[in-house]
């Protein structure tokens, strides 16, 4: 999947489960279209320069893709590794601010992927 400077990769569990793709499939078709438009047209072409309100740096190398369509508000957390954008987790926005649980999931998955790359077990 390529549209610009960066390529999108999805975090996959060892059993093959793909939490971000599974999450996106739970969204309405219009919200899915908006998600794919944002990842392709904005995130892939602008990378870490994607401005607010579309994306937000969270610190520690993690970012938040912010998507709203009608009553559907959701977030996808991600990080950069070379020319890749790795999507770690997605969730519906129900509270003000980011929950510590979602941030921790993103950190654990990022660390797992970076360690796998370092050991040569994962290639993006």
Domain extent, residue 29, equals 7-118
* Paired tokens of 63: 């970012």
Report the number of distinct structural domains present in the chain: 1
The CATH number of the domain holding residue 40 is 3.30.2310.20
Q: Which residues of the chain have pLDDT under 70?
A: 1-4, 40
Entry pTM: 0.89
**Residue 49 falls within a domain, yes or no?**
yes
**Across the chain, what does the average pLDDT equal?**
89
């Amino acid at each position: 999947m390529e549209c610009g400077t960066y390529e999108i990769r999805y975090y996959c569990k060892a059993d093959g489960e793909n939490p971000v793709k599974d999450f996106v499939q739970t969204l309405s078709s219009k919200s899915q279209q908006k998600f794919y438009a944002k990842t392709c047209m904005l995130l892939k072409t602008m990378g870490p320069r994607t401005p607010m309100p579309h994306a937000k740096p969270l610190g520690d190398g993690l970012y938040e893709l912010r998507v709203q369509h009608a009553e559907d508000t959701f977030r996808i957390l991600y990080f950069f590794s070379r020319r890749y954008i790795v999507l770690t987790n997605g969730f519906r926005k129900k509270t003000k601010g980011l929950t510590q649980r979602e941030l921790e999931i993103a950190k654990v998955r990022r660390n797992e992927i970076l360690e796998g790359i370092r050991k040569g077990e994962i290639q993006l």
